[in-house]
Amino acid sequence: MKDVRPTSGKVLQALFNILGDINGAKFLDLFAGTGRVGLEALNRGAESCVFVESVRPRADAIKKISPESLVLSLEVRRAITWLTKREMKFNIIFADPPYSSGWCEEIFKLPGLEKLFTDDCVFIIEHSSREIMNVNENFEIISRRDYGETCLTFLKL
């Protein structure tokens, strides 16, 4: 099992300070790990959170903490297909892929990803500040915040 790198408290606080009021939001936590970000979204008033975590014991742990939430123990590509088939849409999509794994480029090529966005959806990627983000023409970077080794990049369709 790959090591999990939970979002630090400082980055978590900054993320939700930037997002502001998320009451009623539908939140998608991709590469959920411990589920810390999605659980915090629920604590801050998100209507729902879908967690995607491919490692079964971690997904099971999230389900124990938040039994009312949908937890998909699927690889991200398969999870996106599953969600798009059910026409699910999200106001906030957060992705925290393994650092330096190529996901900063790959994530924008995922078939169906854009179908998960509501009109006002904010897409946030947590990544290493050393990684270069190659965004396709369908996305616009609206903000980038660095916190030491960690960077939060905020995008819109």
The closest of 59, 126, 48 to 88, measured between CA atoms, is 48
Residue 65 clears pLDDT 70, i.e. is over it: yes
Cβ neighbours of residue 110 closer than 8 Å, sequence gap 6 or more: 76, 77, 80
Q: How confident is the model at residue 4 (pLDDT cuts 50, 70, 90)?
A: low
Distance of CA 108 to the CA centre of its chain: 13
* Mean pLDDT for the stretch of residues 122-132: 93
Predicted TM-score (pTM) of this structure: 0.94
Block residue for tokens 């699927």: 74
Tokens encoding 45: 């008033």
Helix (H/G/I), strand (E/B), else coil: 140: strand
* Mean pLDDT for the stretch of residues 104-113: 90
Residue 59 clears pLDDT 70, i.e. is over it: yes
For the chain, give the percent of residues with pLDDT over 90.
82
Residue 104 has a pLDDT of 86
Question: Which residues partner with 50 through β-bridges?
Answer: 28, 70
Q: What is the pLDDT of residues 5-50, one digit of tens each?
A: 566 788 999 999 999 999 999 999 999 999 999 999 999 999 999 9
For the chain, give the percent of residues with pLDDT over 70.
96
Tokens encoding 117: 């966005």
Residue 72 has a pLDDT of 98
